[in-house]
Homo-oligomer: A and B are copies of this chain.
Amino acid sequence: MNIVLASTSTLFGGNYLEYLTEEIKILYNGIDEIVFIPFARPGGISHEEYTEKVHAFFAPLGIRVKGLHEFDDKKAAIESAQGFFTGGGNTFLLVKTLHNENLMQLLKENIERGKPYLGCSAGSNIAGVNMKTTNDMPIVYPSSFDCMGLVPFNINAHYLDPNPDLKHNGETRETRIKEFLTQNDVKVIGLREGNWIRNKDGKISVEGSEMTRVFEKNKAPYEVEPGTFL
């Protein structure tokens, strides 16, 4: 496999996908067209607008972008694609759409055959075992929370440390993930913004600028450095 799973598409103060440019060039080396999966629709943006935004980033790299929504036969589009990118937004909407159209398993199989895959945020969540560690609001009801399982753990994108100054009683991210572990025995990678997971031929490492927080059942959470194999 040949996969990059990023916590976020955009760093604070940066432009869309900018900080991932070098990693993206390596990922899609030799590829001149990708299929973009726009179904997560961040902020309710249309499939067309979202695909245009992605096109604007990829055009200077010499990579054409086709939105998956443009194809009448989406299964054929996935089968004939050279590579994939799933953008961020609402994970529930993304997973519901992929399950409704019976695309989740087909996408998984194509990626497992070696086609490069980039995910950001919600697009990274769907590479995990299931979507039960998303931060997103359940605005629609998917037929299942199961995802592709391209990595043997779940991802918590945009992982955020507790803010000691916050006079607010909502649960911290760590508390939420610990609640997940009372009900599930699946490792969770708390991926801070600036970090990504790299899966190259089954060697899975965490990369980027920040430490990464790992949560496992019946174990204290721990931190690993960029470059650590998971």
Contacts and interface: CB of A to CB of B under 8 A. Distances in A.
Main secondary structure of the interface of A (DSSP, over half): loop
| Residue of A11, A131, A169 ringed by the most chain B CB atoms within 10 A | A169
B140 A158 contact: no
Given A12-B167, A169-B8, A169-B10, A137 B134 contact: yes
Interface stretch (A28-36, A173-181, A206-214): A173-181
Contacts of A182: 41, 44, 139
B12 A180 contact: no
Range for the number of chain A residues in contact with chain B: 35 or more
Given A169-B8, A179-B44, A182-B41, A133 B137 contact: yes
A15 interface: no
A176 B122 CA distance: 13
19 contacts: A8-B169, A9-B169, A11-B169, A13-B167, A41-B179, A43-B171, A43-B179, A44-B179, A89-B179, A132-B138, A132-B139, A134-B137, A135-B137, A137-B177, A137-B180, A139-B176, A141-B145, A158-B168, A158-B170
